[in-house]
Amino acid sequence: MLLLLENFLISISAIFANKARSSLTALGIVIGVFSVTMMGTLITGLDKTFEGSMSFLGKNILYVGRWEWFSDMDWWEMKNRPRIKLEYIDKIKNKSDLVLAVAPERRKGVSISYQEKNTGIEIFGTSENYMKTISSNIVSGRFFTNNEDRSGSRIIVIGDGVKKAFFGEKNPIGEKIKINNIKFRIIGVLEEQGKFMGIWSLDNRAIIPLGTYERIFSRRDFLTMRVKIPDKNLNEGKDEIMTIMRHLRSLKPNQKNDFSINQTKAFEKQYNSLKLAIGGTGTFITLLSLIVGGIGVMNIMFVSVKERTREIGVRKAIGATKGMIMGQFLMEAITICLFAGLTGLLFAYISSFFLNKLFPSTLDLGLATFAILISMLVGVVSGFIPSYQAANLDPIDSLRYE
């Protein structure tokens, strides 16, 4: 124990005597530790964002439409599928035992204006049931009713982004905003959603009754049905909807589906392969730089042993055992790597602050510890042969060494 501390002190002075050389060779380890911690930070950050985004999309929502979210099917094949008809909604609700709610959804990008200001948003046309199929709430005002939907009222529920852009802290309820020169009265504001995967804002949107949407825009825009199923019956629910849809479409058993049932699971698959790519690249970079760094440290240790041959001879003459010499040089290698590791960690810590602006990311303590242990392990591995060599030098030869 005593010797450990002594060796540590010896190493520190040896390293500081050769600052430039030591830091240059250890650069690989700095990069290695940096990349492994950044990779971890990135993945945990993405995980959190992804979780948030998925709960926004709703894990228990099936999206029934013409388009497969992630598929290698040709786009024109999907485009030529028959349309989803509004009447399906009632039929699904009647025939299904599991479905909790079904809401239609048409959407398109429009320009919206209030007084002199205007901004681009996505407009949604849907029914009263929509609120049952999303995870966010109305923070002020209300949602529209079935009657307002049927009568095609010019009323609108705006997202938090629209509110902030036009009204700031003012109360927007009752104000009139224009889309395509048609006035809409604001009746409600949606809760803030944040950004999907930290990139696309989910707050720059507004919702109007489907009836109104179809009158003003189009009846031919793609219609998607949002079908809510209890969490625990997700798979059965999917099978059930599939059966009902095939029946509605009068498909024979040998015919393929001409509709799609999408789930957030599809995103998960996609996301997991992204994660795998990040993890793979990160691991590759980490390993590569640790190997390069390790070789650098090994090299510097060989030089150090050579330069201090005489010192080794003296130490042996006054009573150092092989183990003690070995310990001294191993400690030196470990200390170099430890410093390099801490430096890499510092850089990672600083970078995580910047990354935090994009999505939640904090340096994980366990990961930091792991990275430090890894860098020390590199020290042991790369210092082993030089230290072994030092320990086995002949004392007389080394004392004579010039």
Partner 1 sequence: MTLISLKSIYKIYNVGGEEVRALDGVGLEIKENEYLAIMGPSGSGKSTMMNMIGCLDTPTSGFYQFEGEMVNEMDDDQLASIRNRKIGFIFQTFNLLPKATSQHNVEIPLIYANIRKNKRTELAMEALNSVGLSDRMHHKPNELSGGQRQRVAIARALVNSPSIILADEPTGNLDSKSGHEIMVILDKLHKAGNTIILVTHEDEIAQHAHRIIRLFDGKIIEDSEIKK
Measured distance between the N- and C-terminal CA atoms of the chain, rounded to whole angstroms: 33
The b-or-e profile of 62-100 (16+ CB within 10 A means b, else e) is bbbbbbbeeeeeeeeebeebeebeeebbeebeeebebbb
Select from 109, 108, 92 the least CA-distant residue to 100: 92
In the structure encoding, which two tokens stand for residue 176, read together? 């009139």
Rounded to a whole number of angstroms, the minimum distance from the CB of residue 397 to partner 1 is 10
Per DSSP, the residues of 198-238 read TTEESSSEEEEEHHHHHHHS-S-S--EEEEE--GGGHHHHH
Residues between 308 and 347 with contacts to partner 1, criterion CB under 8 A: 310-311, 313-324
Q: Is the Cα dihedral 168, 169, 173, 174 positive or negative?
A: negative
Give the one residue of 4, 73, 350, 396 binding partner 1; rule: CB under 8 A: 396
Encoded one letter per residue, x for contact with partner 1 by CB under 8 A and - for no contact, window 265-304 reads ----------------------------------------
106 touches partner 1 (CB under 8 A): no
CB of 270 to partner 1, least distance (A): 59
Between residues 77 and 397, which has the closer beta carbon with respect to partner 1?
397
Check residue 4 for interaction with partner 1 (CB under 8 A). Answer: no
**Contact predicate 343/289, CB 8 Å:** no
CB 317, min distance to partner 1, A: 5
The helix or strand, by DSSP H or E, that contains position 140, with its residue range, turns out to be strand 138-141
Report the residue number, 236 or 397, with the smaller CB distance to partner 1: 397
**Three-state DSSP state, 123:** strand
Nearer to partner 1, 111 or 392 (CB): 392
Nearer to partner 1, 132 or 310 (CB): 310
Per-residue interface string for the shown chain with partner 1, residues 17-46, x marking contact by CB under 8 A: x-----------------------------
The size of the interface with partner 1 (CB under 8 A), counted in residues, is 22
Cβ atoms of residues 206 and 124 within 8 Å: yes
State the DSSP code for 249: T
The answer to whether 355 and 45 have CB atoms below 8 angstroms apart is: yes
Beta carbon of residue 20, minimum distance to partner 1 (angstroms, whole number): 17
Report the distance separating Cα 266 and Cα 270, nearest Å: 6
Piece in contact with partner 1 (CB under 8 A), picked from 30-38, 117-125, 229-237, 306-314: 306-314
Question: Taking CB under 8 A as the criterion, which residues in 216-275 touch partner 1?
Answer: none
6 binds partner 1 (CB under 8 A): yes
**Beta carbon of residue 289, minimum distance to partner 1 (angstroms, whole number):** 31
Residue 167 CA to residue 261 CA, distance in Å, equals 38
Residue 15 or 355 with smaller CB distance to partner 1: 15
Could you tell me which stretch among 227-235, 305-313, 349-357, 376-384 binds partner 1 (CB under 8 A)?
A: 305-313
Using CB under 8 A, list all residues that contact partner 1.
2-3, 6, 13, 17, 310-311, 313-324, 395-396, 399
